[in-house]
Every structure is written in C-alpha cells, then in structure tokens.
Structure 1
Amino acid sequence: MRLRPSLWPHWVRLGLAWMAVLFLASGCAMLPPEFERTPSKAVPLDPNTTLGRIAKSSQPDPDLSGFRLMPGGDFALNTRLELARRAERTLDVQYYQIHDDETGRYLMRALRDAALRGVRVRVLMDDLYTSGEDELLLALAATPNVELRLFNPFPAGRGSMLGRFSASLFDFTRVNRRMHNKLFIADGAMAVAGGRNIGNEYFTQTAGANFIDLDTFVAGALVPRLASLFDQYWNSEYVRPIETVVASGAPREERQRRFEELTGPRTTPAPRPPAPNDVLGYSPMVEDLKAGKLDLIWTRAEAYADAPERVIGKQVSYGGIPLLDVDSVRYNVIEQIRRGRSDVTIVSPYLIPGKGGLDAMREVHGRGMKISVVTNSLAATDEPMVHTGYRRYRKDMLKLGAEIYELSSQRTRRSVRLGLFGTQIGRLHAKSAVIDGRTLFVGSMNFDPRSDIHNTEIGLIIFSREMAQQVLKLIEVLKQQGAYKVRFAPGTERIEWVSEEGGVEQVLTSEPDSTFWDRMMLEILAPLAPESLL
C-alpha cells in the first residue's frame, strides 16, 4: 500500500503557487508602522521551583549537560506536555510550525493553562505556515501572562499561502527567509530541542503518514545558553507581537471565550499516552519527574543558532569584507565533520550538498573517512522539488565513495522493529550527524541551500560516545529495514536501488515506490527548480 496515491497534488499546488508569485501580484503590502517594543529576558533556573530542584539535584557537575534522546513521537509530545504542566515560572516556546490540529491545539491549551496558573508564557512562531490560524493565535494571545510573537510576518493575504506571497511579490527576498528553529524551555531548568515541529504527524498521532524524527531532552549547563538564544530572537527587530500584525475588533474576554471553544474536548481530544518504553528502552520522562531524579547522559555540549539578521541577508563582515559566521549552525557542524578521523554519518530529509558540501565530502574522503548518508526517497519525501536538487548530486556523492540510503515508505511500514517508532510511518524528518562514533549533532538544520542561506536554524553538538552510538543504532535499523541502498550497477554509472527481502537481494532500476507520473513530473520540473530556492 502506498504512503499516498500520487505526488501530483503537491506538484499542482507548487505550480499554482509559483504562478501566483510571478503573475498574480498586483502590489506590495507593507507591515504596519513601528511600535513600542517591550523587551524581556529568560528567567534563570530557580532551585525553589519543582523543575529547578530536580534539575539541580540531578546534575553531577555544574559544567555538564544532561541529555536523553527521544526518537519516539509519543514520548516527545508527552515530555513537552509534562513540562508545561509542571512549570511554575516560565515557558519559552519557539517553533517553525504549530499546526491547527489536535496536537497543536492541545499543546496551546497546555500553555494557556500554565499561564492561568501565573506562568509567564512566551510563544515565538515563524509566520510562514500560520495561514488561517490568526483567530486561534489571537485567542491564545488574549490569555493573561501569554505573549505571542511572529518572526518575519507577512503583512497581508493572511488567509492563504497563495495570498501571502501574491501580496509580497516585491518583498519576496525578505519573506522567503524563515525561522526554522525548534525549542521548548521550562522554568530555565529543562528544555527540548531537535527537529520536530508541533503537529500530529511529528508525534505519531495520525493514522496517516507520520515522520521519523528526533528530539533530545536537555538539562544542566546548556540550558542557560539555549535561553539566551531564545532571547536573541524574541527581542529581535524582525519579530512582532501578533496584535501589531493582525487586527482584531473582538474584546479580550471574547477572544478568551473563543479559545475555549476552539480547543475544547470536542475538537481537541487528549493524545494517547506513551508506551511503557521507547525504542531505546527508556520509560516516559514523566516517570523521572514524578521520582524527582533525572536519568540522563551527562556530558559536554555546545549550542548554536543562526543570527535573526539572516532575514535581511546580513552577513558577518569586517570593514565590508565577508567573514565566516563562526556562530552559525552549519559552520560548526561542518567544522566537526572536518575534524573527523574515521567516519561520518549524515541524516537529512532534505539533502542538497551543493558545491560546498561536495568539497567538504571530497576533503574528508581524501583523508580516508567513510561517508554515509540517509535521506528520503522520491516516494517518501513531502518535498519532491527538493528531490530534484538532491538527485543532481547523487552520482557525485557515489563517486566520492559515499554510502547512500533512501528511506522507503513501503519498507518502513512493513518493518516490525520500525513499528516501535509508531503505527504509521513513512517519511524521514530527523536531522543529525555522527562523527567518529563519538560526536553527535541534533537540531533543525537540513543539509541543503535553504538551511544554509535562507532559514535560521538551531543545533546542539554533543560530545558523547554513548549518545552517538544510540543514534547509530537507530540509523542502522533504518538502513537495514526501512531504506534502499543506492549504488552504481557493476561496471557502470547507472544507479540501482538495493534492498534485502527475506534474505534475498532485490534490485530496482528506477525510483522506488514511485509511479510513472511521479518520475515524469520530476523530469519536467527539474530544470525549472532554482537550487537556491529548494
């Protein structure tokens, strides 16, 4: 059974969007005039709070950070909800997308409930995917102690993606730059960071296609750094309170009543509880919180985020000369790869290495490092246009000796072990890298031009052999039971996709699990897709 019957609907929507951007815009809307900004800062850990006391008593050394990987969606969602329920002072929430679905509304309701207990709640969302959500977001923002801000907002056409880009044709360079960060911090004591947006499919809460993704729980020395990165965005001039972007004639009390209606039990049932243990053998984080002691891996780590100024294409420079942005996520991940000695494994759902990425691969390959890459197949991806960019580099990566694996929606659904990730899976969304089996990157950054040029990202570099090995084990399961290995046919440069079914090698000579029309559209649109916009 296919993950979905065809990629045609996506192609049609994409084509219409491009036509609208190019031909339908009749003007350029502008954001409202400047307003009085109210800066605020993260509140540091307070050992008198419950979460603060647990975090402090669990930390073996003040210089170490504690982590627990969360590959299971139900565990990752439950952790966020439990932190929201137990927070006593602050919640800082930063996401690229918070969907208007059961998961998104339930989390918003948990934030609302925390605010009613007196918790200061700061919600920062990128504005790209908020189409049609203005009423819900304004309703949440009407709650006392809640402030909701939008990063790089669209000034008009807010009811649809088509209308937004049509109204911003002459401001396309700005609105094409987005905040892709994902971060959740409770009481300055505990955090969750990684690749997940907030929506049903990111937490295995839908019977349809769910994402294979990866987050990590964080406590200890790294949390203040994450809080400062949040503040950097929250107080940026490219962020606006939603009320300064969207007008609402409804009084605050009416908006609060409307929020209750929109997120009530009739439309927003509680998510199912997590399983007793996840794929790594951990019990839900709520058990640790109840026991008052965190069972984490304590180690040294670093956190990076791209500057919000990327929204205007600002580069780090000295005397007008561009410099390397040494605080960017990509720079630091590439540096860790370049320092590697034996091997690197990269997981990226949207993979377009570009010339710079190929040069880095060539450099480490020349030193004898083994390169392994895991990404989506054409049938598994939710962004087929990105696949057109990826396939331009597929042969070049193979020539450099890289092992390439493409996730198969059909194989993941047949795998018993991968069923531990959720009942219905089929798309890769995790972003990670493991260097030399001892250094781990987890974050929001894809290895593609959009993450490199247009989006801001956040990422953690964790120096832990134990955690690196955990991720490698997860990746090995994906490779063996959920992916095709891509290779050259013997003696040729013709690409083949290989899998093992029942101990027998299966070889395909065309994009797996895809239809003729999927592949035809790929050929037609590939020359029309500028790599820098993918």
Structure 2
Amino acid sequence: MARRLLSRCGQWVFAMAAVLLFAGCATLPDEAPRPATRAMAASADTALGKIAQASQPDPDLSGFRLMPGGDFAFDTRIQLARRAQRTLDVQYYQIENDETGRYLLRTLRDAARRGVRVRLLMDDLYTSGEDELLLGLAATPNVELRLFNPFPAGRGSLLRRFTASLFDFSRVNRRMHNKLFIADGAMAVAGGRNIGNQYFRRTAGENFLDLDTFVAGALIPRLGALFDQYWNSVYVRPVQSVVASALTRDELQKRFDTATGPDTTPPPPRPAPNDLLGYSPIAEDLDAGKLDLIWTLAEAYADSPERVIGKTASYGGVPLLDVDSVRYNVVEQMRRARSEVTIVSPYLIPGKAGLEVMREIRRRNVRISIVTNSFAATDEPLVHTAYRRYRPEMLELGAELYELSTTRTRRSVRLGLFGTSVGRLHAKSAVIDRQVLFVGSMNFDPRSETHNTEIGLFIRSPEMAQQTLKLIEVLKQQGAYRLRFAKDSGNARIEWISEEEAGRTTVLNEEPDSDFWGRTMLEMLAPLTPESLL
C-alpha cells in the first residue's frame, strides 16, 4: 500500500517535502529529431497474419475475446510474442522487475534474436533501479526501447527522481497509463493490466482482478496508429539517451541474460483448460489456424501524448472538447444511454462534472450501477478518501454502489483468489444499455481525466456486453458489498450489505475489513492532498 501511494498524491507529498531537504533541478536535454518509424501492416506471409485474415468474416469487423483470468491474459501475450515473425509493438505504464515482468522482457528479447523488430515503450515512473535491466534488453539487435516523459536525473529512487525534477513537477507528474500489445500488425491485447505478478494472480499476497481483451481484424491498424502517435512523440526518448552506462553492449547483454535466466525467472504456470467464460487458451486457436472470436464493429481512442505538457485543443485561448480523448467518449456514451449504465473502476472520484452526468441520465430513469474498491481492497487509500465524499450524493441520485471486499473475494470459488491475502479490483470497463462495452486503461478519476494519458476500446456487441455483465454479477454476488443508507438515519449513515450462503444477510456499519487505526490515519492524511492530483 505504501509503495502505491507514490503513484498519486505521494508524488505531490514527496516533492513538497523535498523542497526542505534538497536543492536541484534537472530537465531533459534537447535531442536531435529522430526518423519516424511506423507500425507494419498485417500480412498473410506471417502465421499470425494468415490466421487473422482467415478468421475475419468481413473486412469492416473486428474480433474480440475477453480475458478475465490472469493466466489466460499472460499466456496470450507470451504466445503472440513467441509466434511473431516481423514486429512487436508493446506499450505499458509499468513492467515490474519480478518473475512476470522479466519473463515477458526475455520473451521479447528472444523474438528480437529471431529477427523480429521489437518496439517497447514504457512510462518512466516505475523504472527506478531497473536501468541496467532495460539497457541490457535495448542492447539486443532489433530491439528499441523508449521511455515516455523520462526523469533526467535521480534515477535510483522515486524520491530522488522527483527531487531532481522539482521545478519540472508539472511535467513529470503527467504519465502514460496506456496498455497495448500488438503482434505482426495482426493481433493485439488491450485492457487494464500492467505487467507484474500481481496483475496475473501469481503472488500469495496482493492480486488484482482485472480485464483484458484479445483483438483481431479491422481495429488493428487503428491501434497501430495510436501506438505510433506515442512512439514518434517528442516526449519519448530512447533509454540510452536517458541512462548512461560504462558497460559494453556485450556486457549488458550478458547481465540481462543472467537477470532473466531460469534461476530467477521461472516460466509461468500453464493456463487452466477453460476460463470463467468457457474459452480455452488462445494457443489452441492459433494451433488450429482459426480464431474463435466475437466479430463486430468497434472504435479505439487514446489521449494525445501532448497531455504531458498540459496541452489541450483550444480556439482563441478557449478550451475545446477533446473529441478523441478516452474520457470524452466514455461520457458521451453514458449520455446516450436509454436504460442502464454499469461502471467498473478501481479508483472512482466522479467530481462535480461526473455527478452532473449521473444526474442528467438519472432524470431519464437510466439505471446506474457502479463497482469499485472498498477502503480495505484499494491500493490507493487517499483516493478512497476522496471517493467517500461523493458516496452520499451518488446514493441520493439512486446509483447502485458496490465495493469489493477482501474477505469475500478470498472465499469466492469463481473469483479464484484462494491463497491470496488481498484481492483488489483493477479492471476498468463500462457497459451501456447492454449494447456497448468500454474496456481500457482509464479510471473514473481526475488523474485519468487530466494528468495521465489513456487508451480505450468501444465494442458494439450485445454478446460482449452480456459477457462483461456476467463477470460483474459474479463480482457483486461473491466479492462485494452493496451500499445503502441505514434506515431511519436520514441519509446520514451508510451500511454495507452482503448476501451470504444459505440466504444469510450481513449488515456492517463501518468500512468493511478495516480497523480503527487505518480509518483514523486516512482521516488525518486526507486534507493534505488536493483532489485534482488523485
């Protein structure tokens, strides 16, 4: 929990503290223009391209498969990397230096050794202490590794980074939150997962409930163009231009090989025969040469990388609607809803604008159902403090609120978190009128709206929407508490309700799975952090 505080208000708190402790300022040096490179189109000359073309029923349609299970989601990425023959375009907010992260990096290295062009784009926030590992990968022929909005100094720790960039805080506070994996211009994975053990249920401690989707078909060129928009941005630098090393290329490669070898990086376990939706691993489809997907119309949007300097569209100094932003398109879909809106967001701070959208659609009797983390389940406790301010108003509007319970998720058979000390929600999705599914990297909070860049897919498929609602219903029934106003409290007190086995109902009057000292600490820290930074 403490580590994750750094990603939001902790950035602000540490930077302010650093004023009293250190002096210094570092900015990115000017760089000569680099020649732009572009995503490669799918081709029947590659195995993945041939399978994608053979599976697509119509050139205007895109194919999808939801991946709620971490074992399936990681195995899909590994299968695509192993089978790629021409190119891999990979973009992540965070790749952790653990068994999962190192295994993916080694798989990318192996692809490059086969002659595959690997373009890896990482946000630079969580790369502290990983410079040698990243330089070792970048020393491999056919690999180019770039950092988005890098920290120019203090690279040993996050505190030192922010201290060195103290007077450039407005820039370094803005991060690339996108998650995208494209193989041979033919198949992709997009969604909410970063790369690390806890995102794929490989720890006995904190694990995330998350959601990705496999993609093929008409949407792939659009995803490639969105990747290129970032890859060729002036706010992206090759890792070698940011990090210095006295080691030779051969030495860096040898150290990478040792760091990612079998002694420290065992292979992941094989995925289960079937996932929650009844699908088998994607490898079986690829071996058979035909993809079992849901084919439909879809769109994809990503925020402009120029958000890193706070740049938005304007005319005569007046801000304009950013119609290509993820947030704008999610809100527009909500406004068009006629019957119901279901939202899943681990970090939920609607703000005044979000509440107004809810009021607008509730006036038309549109049902609103929201699932988010409880105080005990969240890895961002200060975000939860801001969220709590809006709970009464959302309940008064008639929104149905559910909060994930660490205790209930551990007991759930279908959620599959046995042996896990904490189950946390990390999926970001929305279902509109049971017709349109949004899945992507965007949280419903100020950071995703104004500071971070995001990517999101809008899938127009009743079948995909129904599958997602099925997953959400399992989450509500087996892993969450429903919130309501206590009877005769005059909307002054909230209760947490769960339906247990044998029809037994549990009613709680305090934040579930929390203790007095945790709640007290939260109240003490809450006033220190501006909501706009959460």
TM-score range with shorter-chain normalisation? over 0.9
Contact 2:39-2:185 within 8 A present in 1 as well: yes
Unpaired runs of 5+ residues, structure 1, are 1-6
Change (3 A) 1:302 1:360: same
- 2 CA distance for matches of 1:8 and 1:86? 39
Partner residue, 1:334: 331
Corresponding residue SS for 1:310: helix
What do residues 115-160 of structure 1 show as CA deviations (whole Å, max 9, x unaligned)? 0000000000000000001010000000000000000000111111
- 2 CA distance for matches of 1:458 and 1:442? 9
What do residues 431-470 of structure 1 show as CA deviations (whole Å, max 9, x unaligned)? 0000101110000000000000100000000000000000
- 1 CA distance for matches of 2:22 and 2:278? 53
Deviation at 1:22, TM superposition (A): 4.1
Contact 1:204-1:423 within 8 A present in 2 as well: no
* Residue of structure 2 aligned with 1:399, choices 389, 393, 396: 396
- 1 CA distance for matches of 2:320 and 2:13? 38
Corresponding residue SS for 2:391: helix
* Residue of structure 1 aligned with 2:298, choices 301, 304, 322: 301
Partner residue, 2:373: 376
Change (3 A) 1:145 1:211: same
Partner residue, 2:38: 41
Contact 2:348-2:443 within 8 A present in 1 as well: yes
- 2 CA distance for matches of 1:518 and 1:52? 52
Deviation at 1:37, TM superposition (A): 1.4
After superposition, residues 139-150 of structure 1 pair within 5 angstroms as 139-150=136-147
What do residues 372-406 of structure 1 show as CA deviations (whole Å, max 9, x unaligned)? 00000000000101101101111110011000000
Corresponding residue SS for 2:122: strand
Change (3 A) 1:487 1:174: same
Contact 1:72-1:422 within 8 A present in 2 as well: no
After superposition, residues 252-271 of structure 1 pair within 5 angstroms as 252-271=249-268
| 2:115 alignment partner AA | G
Corresponding residue SS for 1:461: strand
Contact 2:411-2:418 within 8 A present in 1 as well: no
* Residue of structure 1 aligned with 2:410, choices 413, 418, 423: 413
Partner residue, 1:533: 533
- 2 CA distance for matches of 1:440 and 1:490? 35
- 1 CA distance for matches of 2:158 and 2:75? 31
After superposition, residues 421-460 of structure 1 pair within 5 angstroms as 424=420, 426-460=423-457
Contact 1:379-1:408 within 8 A present in 2 as well: yes
Corresponding residue SS for 2:167: helix
What do residues 489-525 of structure 1 show as CA deviations (whole Å, max 9, x unaligned)? 0132111111122221111111110111110011111
Deviation at 1:11, TM superposition (A): 7.0
Contact 2:84-2:116 within 8 A present in 1 as well: yes
Contact 1:32-1:244 within 8 A present in 2 as well: no
Partner residue, 1:479: 476
What do residues 193-219 of structure 1 show as CA deviations (whole Å, max 9, x unaligned)? 000000000011112121000000000
Corresponding residue SS for 2:386: helix
Corresponding residue SS for 1:418: coil
After superposition, residues 90-489 of structure 1 pair within 5 angstroms as 90-419=87-416, 424=420, 426-489=423-486
Partner residue, 1:516: 516
Deviation at 1:16, TM superposition (A): 7.0
Partner residue, 1:4: none
| 2:293 alignment partner AA | L
- 2 CA distance for matches of 1:49 and 1:504? 56
| 1:226 alignment partner AA | L
Change (3 A) 1:510 1:485: same
Change (3 A) 1:62 1:11: closer
Matched, 1:71 2:64: no
Change (3 A) 1:513 1:168: same
- 2 CA distance for matches of 1:316 and 1:206? 43
Q: Return the TM-score normalized by structure 1.
A: 0.97
| 1:496 alignment partner AA | E
What do residues 321-357 of structure 1 show as CA deviations (whole Å, max 9, x unaligned)? 2100000000001101100100000000000000110
- 1 CA distance for matches of 2:6 and 2:111? 42
- 1 CA distance for matches of 2:334 and 2:525? 33
Contact 1:204-1:422 within 8 A present in 2 as well: no
| 1:338 alignment partner AA | R
Corresponding residue SS for 1:273: coil
After superposition, residues 10-49 of structure 1 pair within 5 angstroms as 14=10, 17=14, 20-49=17-46
Which is further off, 173-182 or 35-44? Answer: 35-44
Contact 2:149-2:308 within 8 A present in 1 as well: yes
Partner residue, 1:498: 497
- 1 CA distance for matches of 2:151 and 2:408? 40
Question: What RMSD in Å do the two structures reach over aligned CA positions?
Answer: 1.5
Change (3 A) 1:21 1:444: farther
Partner residue, 1:3: none
- 2 CA distance for matches of 1:111 and 1:507? 49
Q: Percent of aligned pairs with the same residue?
A: 73
Q: Return the TM-score normalized by structure 2.
A: 0.97
Which is further off, 24-33 or 108-117? Answer: 24-33
Give the aligned length: 527
Deviation at 1:8, TM superposition (A): 7.1
What do residues 78-101 of structure 1 show as CA deviations (whole Å, max 9, x unaligned)? 000000000000000000000000
Unpaired runs of 5+ residues, structure 2, are none
- 1 CA distance for matches of 2:198 and 2:70? 9
- 1 CA distance for matches of 2:4 and 2:108? 33
